[in-house]
Chains A and B, each alone.
Chain A
Amino acid sequence: MAIAIAVIALVALNAYVLLAGADFGGGVWDLFATGPRRADQRALIAEAIGPIWEANHVWLILVVVLLFTCFPPAFSGLAIALHIPLTLMLIGIVLRGSAFAFRSYGSSDDAPQRRWGRVFSIASLLTPLLLGVCIGAIASGRIGTMLDHVARGAPGESFASLYLLPWLSPFTIAVGALALALFAFLAGTYLTVEATDDVLREDFRRRALFAAIAVFVTAFLALLLARSRAPRVSAGLIASAWALPLHVLTAVAAIGAILALRFRRWHVARIAAAAQVSLILWGWAAAQAPYLVPPSLTVENAAAPRRTQLIFLVALALGALVLFPSMTYLFRLFKTARVHETVPTGRNDSV
């Protein structure tokens, strides 16, 4: 049962990455909006994110709640070891969300619009980086080791060796960069579907292709560094029975996404990109299984009592009954058959 819950947690994280990840990626493209169509690019991003980003954000809450309800020692341990990057990530989340709302609903004057746009886009860049750093730190296994030190009173350990170095290394930064590249790639691909005209579509096609290259570079770098920095995950990704099929599938998805972008098959590209990102996430999880926080906390030994797990699953099922129809309704409403002339955007909402 604990494994089922861990899988659900991963599904929720996957949803967060595919949905909110693209919202963050949108912020990145807001930052790098260039050329004569800069304002149009930004307007499209704001319009794409506006109605859905808060709902997408809730997936993160679900992951956190799931973790502390069903795997309390893992949540508690991560919160101790990753205090600094998580706090920084939270600051990013707060600034991203607030700045977006301030820009959409506050004064429509030019100066504040630009100021909040800047805050929104920079926060959108830093948050995925820190999320990736945290995941890299977990994968490296150094968090678990650090927690064992702390549990033994950490004799002779400096602040840096306990609270900085376990999450701050070339490997974790490479994973952070990978997360950022993936989110930008997702956003670029999604925006080709959402674009209102062909010129804008081409803008985001170029950006998506550029991000795809960044994904390759950072993924390669992360894998390379993983061999020494995250040996367990690295070994899993190379030697497991599922490793080869996974790599083949990921490669198919990646190449498919690029080809689809190349031949302007926007919807295919969107599906392939989402599949590629999901496969990378599941590959990490499979390589790290059965550990939640290697090398000590596993899905089984960190699990909450069975009764909690059982009731949680019932609550989850009931929640899903509410969630999925609502979510479908939201996306149907704002993500299909867009009639663009009547869409009020944050920028020129004529209230």
Chain B
Amino acid sequence: MGDLLAARSQMAVSLGFHILFAVVGIAMPVLMVIAETRWHRTGDAMYLELAKRWAKGTAILFAVGAVSGTVLSFELGLLWPSFMRFAGAIIGMPFSLEGFAFFAEAIFLGVYLYGWERISPRAHIAAGTVVAVSGAASALFVVIANAWMNTPAGFRLQSGLPVDVDPIAAMLTPAAFPEVLHMLLAAYAATGFAVAGIHAMMLLRDRRNAFHRRALAVALIVGVPAAIVQPFSGDISARYVARWQPPKLAAMEGQFRTEAGAPLRIGGIPDVQAERTRWALEIPGGLSLLAFHDAHAVVHGLDAVPRRDWPPVPVVHVAFQVMVALGTYLALLGLWIVVEAWRRRDLAANRWLMRAVALASPMGFLCIEAGWTVTEVGRQPWIIFGVMRTSDAVTPMPGLIVPFLVISALYCFLGVVVVWLLYDLVMRSPITRESDGAAAAPAAA
């Protein structure tokens, strides 16, 4: 493994690991605050129990997210020093603002977790709300920095160096809005369905468990709307990519030739040697229609750029197909749930629905991993699209396979531990039947 590949792999592992925890940090506080609010509204102690349990899980996940985020902020320099030297002054701004959002998040999470008996109920809910809002703000700023790498702006190149740096313009790039919207919705959909899935699994075993019924309802309130809206946000993203990063769109769709009325390919494996995508289900004019809202529009293929500027086409195409497939599943499932809820059916009693929700549990997260693969790998070979190549940004230190293996091993270990701890936390859920109507059984803690 060469140094460049090792550095890229380490970055991929670090991002892929961190994003899972970051997403939970964005959405979980919303679930906690909803549960706590319901406790105040209804006086049903089980909602309080729910908020406290979710808070415990969130505390573990947030801590891992905070430290793995720290690793990333250093890795930007450790792995890509030339990139940071070039871009630091341009995109430092969103990172700085993210720093303050992160401060607010960490401070008020501390207040939330340890303040149950110390502050008024109103102040406690307010603290949780600040955590939720600043979590979303953190995501906003970090994704804005990523958007700049896709559509760099706010500077002029003069003999290879940036001049006339404008940090504000660098934050308001064309990619910023679609990326931020897509990421935030993904965070709520993924977390909502992940939590709902876990409780659906428990309900499949024990349909009348009042604790899990309440948990399911709160999680779906967050997950379902986001999942249903997400395809529209995806449409905005696709049209932005078509306009600003044609090679990325071409790789996503396996579109090798520039053509009018390009077909939409579902599935298929791109063959880079033969320059065609095999075994795909093709819908004539579909891609042109989706990317430009015109079935006859010209879509630029990979042939529009030199071969050395092609991203790794099969990876991007397959990741994109996976993201769309899983996202569609979540959106359709969301509609099904809306219909059932509209008819005032008991969701937990519908075993097929519960199975479908349980199946959805990991899907949002897989979807996010696939989506980031599309964004990041699709930008290659550029670290700053059209401006700086990834190979020119990597650190001169040799032997990068060693830190890559060390960080990977560390994260594998932590991943296993976290899954085990959460499993343990879920398995210790209280058993209170709906018909019992009693307050939550005190759990062993």
Interface residues of A (CB under 8 A from B): 50-52, 54-55, 57-58, 60-62, 64-66, 68-73, 75-80, 83, 86-87, 90-91, 93-98, 100-102, 104-108, 150, 154, 159, 162-163, 304-305, 307-308, 311-312, 315-316, 318-319, 322-323, 326-327, 329-330, 333-334, 342-344, 349-351
Contacts and interface: CB of A to CB of B under 8 A. Distances in A.
B74 A65 contact: no
B85 A73 contact: yes
A21 to B, nearest CB: 16
B89 interface: yes
A79 B118 CA distance: 43
B339 interface: no
Contact of B85 (A70, A72, A98): A72
A322 B104 contact: yes
Contact of A61 (B99, B119, B424): B99
B34 to A, nearest CB: 18
A312 B99 contact: no
Contacts of A104: 59
Contacts of B172: none
A55 B103 contact: yes
Given A54-B66, A65-B96, A308-B92, 8 more contacts: A51-B110, A51-B111, A55-B107, A70-B92, A72-B87, A75-B77, A79-B77, A318-B100
Contacts of A68: 76-77, 84, 88, 92, 95
Interface residues of B, number: 74
Contacts of A106: 60, 421, 424-425
A349 B165 CA distance: 51
B70 A319 contact: no
Interface string B78-92: 100110111111101
Contacts of B62: 54, 101
Contact of A102 (B86, B89, B407, B421): B421
A291 B97 CA distance: 27
Interface stretch (B269-277, B282-290, B319-327, B397-405): B397-405
Contacts, number: 227
22 contacts: A54-B106, A61-B102, A62-B96, A69-B95, A72-B87, A72-B88, A76-B81, A79-B78, A83-B397, A87-B78, A93-B67, A97-B64, A98-B414, A105-B57, A163-B397, A305-B89, A308-B92, A308-B93, A315-B93, A344-B114, A344-B116, A351-B52
B43 interface: no
B277 to A, nearest CB: 40
B121 to A, nearest CB: 15
B77 A76 contact: yes
Interface of B: 52-53, 56-57, 59-60, 62-64, 66-71, 73-74, 76-78, 81-82, 84-90, 92-93, 95-100, 102-104, 106-111, 113-119, 163, 165-168, 395-399, 403, 406-407, 410, 414, 417, 421, 424-425, 443, 445
A52 B66 CA distance: 13
Contact of A319 (B86, B100, B163, B166): B100
Residue among B88, B165, B425, B443 with the most chain A CB within 10 A? B88
Contact of A90 (B70, B104, B395, B424): B70
Contacts of B163: 305
Nearest to A71: B88
Nearest to B130: A326
A323 B76 CA distance: 25
Contacts of A60: 70
B110 A334 contact: yes
A154 B60 CA distance: 45
A342 B81 contact: no
B165 A101 contact: no
A94 B71 contact: yes
Given A70-B92, A106-B421, A330 B107 contact: yes
B104 to A, nearest CB: 6
